[in-house]
Amino acid sequence: MNASLEGVSDLFAVLGDPTRLRMACVLGEHELSVAELTELLGVAQSRVSTQLARLREAGVLKDRRAGTSTLCSVDDAALRADARDALAIARRSVDGKALENDLARAAAIVKRRAGEKSWPEAVAGRMEKHYSPGRTWESMAYAFLELCDVGDVLDAGCGDGTVASMIANVATSLTCVDRSERMIEAARARLGKRARLVIADVAALPLEDASFDTVLLLHVLASVRDPAEALAECARVLRPGGRLLVATLDKHERLDVAAPYGHVHAGFRPKRLARLIEDAKLEVIRCGVTSHERREPFFSVVTALASKDGARKRGSR
């Protein structure tokens, strides 16, 4: 614990300089060279180089060679969880308008650089942060779904059917459950005859035992009174070898933000979620934090995949 506290303290000390903090905020979104940072910040190149060195020493940045230039960016993959949290807190202290101006100017610099070379070369290593025609997360999700063999699917807590509509064409059959009549009506308008729609609570499913190959429980657990009951019901309706996919917020301290969306739990740490799934007599295949939001309040998402009776069929690893 002490080492972690010292690491966070050191990182805050590094980010205590206004120039270094601006750099960290901008390089978290864009990959820039020393010369480009000098142009953006309006300070001497020697000072930019010195401040970049401090950020590298703190383990915040990574470099990538691109032709004759060296491009710098925040090393998201290498940051420890405590360092990532410290950086997120530091980012919150930056004036919103000032940061927007910095990010807009950085985007213009990247766009100008792209005009000097091919677009892929200009954003290599940071493509996920930039738009290209047709290459959206939605299009990629639909493409990957074509690889899925999901069988008979239950979307437990389906909301208005947005996710269900994505998997409808690859599922053998699709059943959508939600406790809100209004949500079910919206799902019916979206899905038509492609799904069976049921008004029910996920903790008391009016469905037969062992009737589904795949159960989806996506961003539902934080909104149910008893997560253990909901998971037990999902396990009950799974067939042997069936899979449960869960997504939920990681443990957080911003229930004030989440409560208006119906959340009654402040997220679940991966270890706790894994225990809850195991208590439901399912085998956890994978469970961990899979994404981090880049904007305040910087929620993280935990994803878990589990199977029934220990059988890992239908392409499970």
Q: pLDDT, tens digit, for every residue of 122-135?
A: 677 777 777 778 88
Q: For residue 193, name the pLDDT band (cuts at 50, 70, 90).
A: very high
Per-residue model confidence (pLDDT) at position 119: 64
- Residues facing residue 308 across a β-bridge: 282
Q: Does the pLDDT of residue 1 top 50, yes or no? A: no
Nearest CA to 244 among 314, 169, 304? 304
Output the average pLDDT for the chain: 87
53-59: list long-range contacts, CB under 8 Å, 24+ apart.
Answer: 54/14, 54/17, 54/20, 55/14, 55/20, 55/23, 55/24, 57/14, 58/10, 58/11, 58/14, 58/83, 59/83
Give the burial class of 15: count Cβ atoms within 10 A of its Cβ; 0-12 exposed, 13-18 middle, 19 or more buried.
buried
Residue 254 pLDDT exceeds 50: yes
Question: Strand ranges (DSSP E) for the chain?
Answer: 32-33, 61-66, 69-74, 152-156, 173-178, 196-199, 212-218, 238-249, 282-292, 300-308
- Give the pLDDT confidence score for residue 313 in this predicted structure: 42
pLDDT for the residue numbered 8: 62
Whether 216 has a pLDDT exceeding 90, the answer reads yes
What local confidence, expressed as pLDDT, does residue 202 receive?
97
* Gap between the Cα atoms of 306 and 270, Å rounded: 13
pLDDT in tens, 81-115: 766 776 777 666 666 677 888 888 898 888 888 77
pTM greater than the 0.75 cutoff: no
pLDDT tens by residue, 24-80: 888 988 999 999 999 998 889 899 999 999 888 888 888 988 777 889 998 877 776
192: left (phi over 0), alpha (psi -120 to 50) or beta: left
256 neighbors 313 (Cβ within 8 angstroms):
no
Residue 6 has pLDDT above 70, yes or no: no
Confidence class for position 312, pLDDT limits 50, 70, 90: very low
28 and 298 Cβ atoms separated by less than 8 Å: no
